[in-house]
Amino acid sequence: MKKIVLLSTLSFALLAQLAYSQVRFDLGLKGGLNFASLNSVSTAASTTYDNRTGYHFGAYALVKVTKIGIQPELLFSRQGQNFTINSQNYSSSFDYITIPVMIKLYIAGGLNLQAGPQFGFLSSAKGDLINVASKNVSATGQDLSTFVKSSDVSLAVGAGWDLPFGLNITARYNIGLSDVNKYTGSNLPIVSSLGTSEAKSQVVQISVGYRFIKLGK
């Protein structure tokens, strides 16, 4: 009986060690730059749209089994766009709390490809209002939350590299899947910089992260 108990204990310990050695858990912080735009074309005014430089920061967790990893993140992300009307430059700033859930495929060493959905929740929206009749900006620095939907869904694709000493770098492209313009197609006298066309977020992210907790190999 003692031999059976001892053998069972050793077998359990061996299996636990094997499972532990195959699974890795990371917890870390990350941040970096956003190069954001919207794929909108305003029908309310003759407008040229350009990328807007913003930033993002937050935390991530990684569960890695052999060459596959799942990495959920919680980020603050400043997005938006720059635009020009009658040779005058303006901008809109949309702040989101985003939750990317990335599937990572490790190719060699720490190099990996990644893809997954991202869910965004609007925390603030500020920018300029356009008078449809005059095709001019009627007010700047306004609260645009009534013009922008409260949530956004994107597909995130990219690549990363897990460096020694807990550092990692990531390049990612977030492709908007949902229309963030609350009044697409509406005939309003005053519109936001989104105009009245469909508007979807397009964000290139360059991130640097640091892993401060690692369990397993």
**Domain of residue 119, residue span:** 25-215
Mean pLDDT of 176-195: 83
Q: Which residues contact 133 (CB under 8 A, 6 or more apart)?
A: 189
Q: What phi and psi values does residue 17 have, to the nearest 5 degrees? A: -65, -40
109 domain-assigned = yes
Q: How far apart are CA 81 and CA 49, in angstroms?
A: 7
Degrees to nearest 5, angle at CA 208 with 111 and 154? 80
Lowest average pLDDT, out of 21-30, 87-96, 139-148, 185-194, goes to: 185-194
Q: How far apart are CA 148 and CA 155, in angstroms?
A: 19
Average pLDDT, the chain: 85
14 domain-assigned = no
Q: Is the model more confident about 181 or about 48?
A: 181
pLDDT tens for residues 12-55?
A: 444 444 455 578 899 999 999 999 988 766 554 556 667 889 99
pLDDT tens for residues 95-137?
A: 999 999 999 999 988 999 999 999 999 999 998 887 777 667 7
18 domain-assigned = no
The model's confidence at residue 186, banded by pLDDT at 50, 70 and 90, is confident
101 domain-assigned = yes
Q: How far apart are CA 192 and CA 186, in angstroms?
A: 12
Q: What is the pTM of this model?
A: 0.83
pLDDT for 164 equals: 85
Does pLDDT of 172 surpass 90? yes
Residue 93: CATH number of its domain: 2.40.160.20
Domain count along the chain:
1
pLDDT for 18 equals: 41
pLDDT for 86 equals: 67
Q: Which residues contact 22 (CB under 8 A, 6 or more apart)?
A: 65, 66, 216, 217
pLDDT for 21 equals: 54
